[in-house]
Amino acid sequence: ATHLYGGPQMIDRFVHEVARVLRPDGFFLWCDICYHDGSKRSIDYLTASGELLIQDKIDITSNVLHSLDITSKSHEEVIKRIIPSEQQEAYRVWAGLPGTIMYENMREGRMDYWRAVFQDSIYTNDKDDDDNDDMKSNSSESQINPASSSSCRDIDEFAIELGSVCKKCMVLTEEKDNDLVECHAKHHQKCHKPPVSTTNISDPRYLWCGAKCGKLINKRQQSQLSLKKNKNKE
């Protein structure tokens, strides 16, 4: 309920924490009321710091109003049955029942209801670079090994869907000193760049982190240090 966080500064703090804990390839799914503030809606504050990027968004106000119309009778009955009479009006507003200020603000366009999908901006920018590198790499490999495309077609589609195959070569089988290792995706030791040492992954004290995740973690740490330094200067 970001509309209750108390303005842009508190939303910035919320966004910073979301970006901090979001896994590198993760998505933040958000749905909430958006108040109008001049030419802006409160959804715009979620991207103001640049830490999150919107991958998809849609205004679902009409859907929400339709849902409230359908459920209003049952909600009204529940409120009358279990809520003390002096508190019922507050609960009617909270439930967005027809005739309340919440419902009328949405109906008359003073307030919207949005759902959106966000992703960490650092990961998104790096992913574009990595995708370009993968395209170049795959192009050169297909020229060297023309059978690679046919081998991909023979892989169990269910295994691919589960993410059980190597992201690079799309093969499920393992060999000595070429096991499948996993961070946010699976790679054979030799498919990963740089290659993963068998000694390291055999050590239970060693927590392996993929090159992409390691780079993103370092960037996030540097970004946090930079923010702290700027705050100290202020």
Task: Please give the domain boundaries of the chain with CATH numbers for all domains.
Answer: 2-122 (3.40.50.150), 145-233 (3.30.40.10)
| H-only helix segments in 22-156 | 61-82, 88-94, 101-107, 121-144, 148-153
Tell me what pLDDT residue 218 has: 72
- Which residue, 128, 109, 144, 93, is CA-closest to 212? 128
pTM above 0.75, yes or no: no
pLDDT, one tens digit per residue, over 86-143 is 999 999 998 999 999 999 999 998 888 989 899 887 766 555 555 555 555 554 444 4
Tell me what pLDDT residue 162 has: 60
Contacts of 57 (CB under 8 A, 6+ apart): 43, 114, 115, 116, 117
* Rounded CA separation 25/199 (Å): 27
